[in-house]
């Protein structure tokens, strides 16, 4: 059961007021429409489903896979008709020589087509954390040509007009966040991360990918304000303040080793879909050989933004144990002890 419900308007500074609507998806959403987002989060914390598809290819039937995943995880596409959907890929430091670094354009276009067929207004947006020249990132990743061919509009979230909204997470000392107008006005944000390791937090997925909605014009490059506040804590706070998010993970060609930029390619052939990003990231971690409760940002999110316990996450499509393939990591103190017990990496 899914429903749409209005939210409070964000407090803004010089940028003006933006209407902010939330798409409420998943178990318990109907009740949440009456009493607000906190009950929805509580329901999500109790149970969620994640869809896993194997043997996927960039030239395969990705649209069908994504539609199947959304249906299997309880997304009601009728409620998105006429609404605004923002797709957020990962374009951290793209180069044509390293396709495992960024979300593949075929995945972005497939997700866009699915939501356009649902009757939604779709825009693609990203605010790269390391590159001021987003146009170069679009060209190097191959994204620009794909978006042009598909007739999709791109918004540079680093330079967009912004509004301010209170921090709903409070794991950091930050009072609130400046979010781009397109983020505040979206009815739904779809996180489109790349499946890859991360040299500070272990691995990166749907939650960490939303770092890219934070505008560089307010937070700098590589958004050091968030780094100083604490990376895991900032990840949690951003996601706690953005309740209207779901995810589709590009795990077809993944990255292991010194991620999220300098790692090696790891073919996995996977697409993951879920209406709760915490559950998606916990499942993603298990496939990669991690114990989600040992990942600091997931430990913060677990029970608050969604479930991380294996028994609380419904498996749709493939079972994660059937596609498990542990990822290598660099040898660094902050990454030791993150593996699930008994996991061996060869």
E strands, 71-152, are 84-89, 121-126
Residues near 64 by beta carbon (within 8 Å), at least 6 away in sequence: none
- For residues 148 and 137, the answer to whether their CB atoms sit within 8 Å is no
232 token code pair: 């895991």
336 token code pair: 């030791």
Rounded CA gap, 148 and 136, in Å? 15
Q: Does position 294 have pLDDT exceeding 70, yes or no?
A: yes
> With DSSP H G I counted as helix, E B as strand and the rest as coil, what are the percentages for the chain, rounded to 5?
35, 25, 40
With cut-offs at 50, 70 and 90, classify the pLDDT of residue 285.
very high
- Position 131 scores a pLDDT of 67
Max intra-chain CA distance, the chain: 54
With cut-offs at 50, 70 and 90, classify the pLDDT of residue 46.
low
- Position 130 scores a pLDDT of 63
Rounded CA gap, 218 and 298, in Å? 26
Q: Is 200 exposed, middle or buried (0-12, 13-18, 19+ CB in 10 A)?
A: middle
With cut-offs at 50, 70 and 90, classify the pLDDT of residue 346.
low
Nearest CA to 78 out of 23, 6, 19 is that of 23
With cut-offs at 50, 70 and 90, classify the pLDDT of residue 133.
confident
- For residues 316 and 73, the answer to whether their CB atoms sit within 8 Å is yes
With cut-offs at 50, 70 and 90, classify the pLDDT of residue 38.
very low
Looking at residues 7-33, what average pLDDT do you find? 38
Q: Does position 268 have pLDDT exceeding 60, yes or no?
A: yes
Could you tell me what percent of the chain has a pLDDT over 70?
85
CA 75, 80, 86, 89: dihedral to nearest 10 degrees? 30
What's 289's DSSP letter?
T
Radius of gyration of the chain (CA): 18
Residues near 284 by beta carbon (within 8 Å), at least 6 away in sequence: 195, 203, 205, 206, 249, 251, 272
Looking at residues 265-283, what average pLDDT do you find? 98
Q: In angstroms, what CA-CA distances link 231 with 217, 236, 296?
A: 19, 9, 9
Q: Is 21 exposed, middle or buried (0-12, 13-18, 19+ CB in 10 A)?
A: middle
- pLDDT-wise least confident of 128-142, 194-208, 248-262, 307-321: 128-142
Q: Does position 260 have pLDDT exceeding 70, yes or no?
A: yes
With cut-offs at 50, 70 and 90, classify the pLDDT of residue 97.
confident
- Position 224 scores a pLDDT of 84
Q: Does position 17 have pLDDT exceeding 70, yes or no?
A: no
- Position 35 scores a pLDDT of 32
Q: In angstroms, what CA-CA distances link 117 with 113, 114, 300, 306, 337?
A: 6, 5, 36, 28, 44
Rounded CA gap, 100 and 272, in Å? 16
The overall average pLDDT reported for the chain is 87
Nearest CA to 248 out of 95, 113, 84, 99 is that of 113
With cut-offs at 50, 70 and 90, classify the pLDDT of residue 94.
confident
- Position 14 scores a pLDDT of 41
Could you tell me what percent of the chain has a pLDDT over 90?
76
Looking at residues 312-328, what average pLDDT do you find? 97
Nearest CA to 211 out of 41, 116, 220 is that of 220
- For residues 39 and 32, the answer to whether their CB atoms sit within 8 Å is yes
Q: Angle at CA 141, nearest 5°, toward 143 and 66? A: 55
- For residues 165 and 298, the answer to whether their CB atoms sit within 8 Å is no
């Amino acid at each position: 059961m899914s429903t749409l419900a209005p939210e409070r308007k964000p407090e803004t500074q010089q940028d003006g007021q933006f209407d902010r609507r939330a798409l409420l998806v998943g178990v318990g959403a109907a009740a949440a429409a009456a009493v607000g987002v906190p009950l929805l989060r509580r329901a999500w914390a109790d149970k969620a489903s994640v869809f896993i598809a194997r043997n996927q290819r960039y030239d395969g039937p990705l649209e069908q896979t994504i539609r199947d995943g959304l249906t299997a995880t309880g997304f009601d596409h009728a409620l998105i008709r006429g609404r605004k959907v923002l797709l957020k890929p990962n374009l951290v430091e793209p180069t044509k020589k390293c396709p495992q670094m960024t979300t593949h354009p075929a995945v972005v276009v497939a997700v866009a087509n699915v939501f356009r067929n649902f009757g939604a207004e779709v825009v693609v947006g990203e605010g790269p954390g390391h590159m001021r020249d987003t146009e170069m990132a679009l060209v190097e990743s191959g994204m620009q040509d794909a978006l042009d061919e598909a007739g999709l509009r791109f918004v540079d979230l680093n330079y967009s007009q912004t509004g301010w909204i209170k921090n709903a997470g409070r794991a950091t000392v930050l009072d609130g966040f400046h979010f781009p107008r397109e983020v505040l006005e979206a009815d739904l944000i779809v996180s489109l991360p790349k499946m890859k390791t991360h040299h500070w937090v272990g691995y990166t997925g749907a939650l960490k990918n939303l770092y890219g909605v934070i505008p560089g014009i307010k937070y700098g490059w590589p958004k050091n304000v968030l780094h100083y506040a604490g990376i895991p804590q900032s990840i949690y706070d951003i996601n706690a303040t953005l309740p209207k998010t779901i995810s589709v993970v590009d795990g077809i060609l993944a990255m292991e080793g010194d991620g999220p930029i300098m790692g090696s390619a790891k073919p996995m052939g996977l697409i993951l879909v879920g209406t709760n990003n915490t559950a998606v990231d916990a499942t993603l971690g298990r496939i990669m050989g991690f114990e989600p409760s040992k990942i600091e940002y997931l430990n913060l999110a677990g029970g608050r933004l969604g479930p991380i316990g294996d028994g609380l996450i419904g498996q749709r499509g493939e079972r994660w144990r059937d596609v498990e393939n542990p990822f290598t990591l660099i040898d660094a103190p902050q990454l030791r002890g993150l593996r699930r017990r008994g996991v061996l990496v060869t």
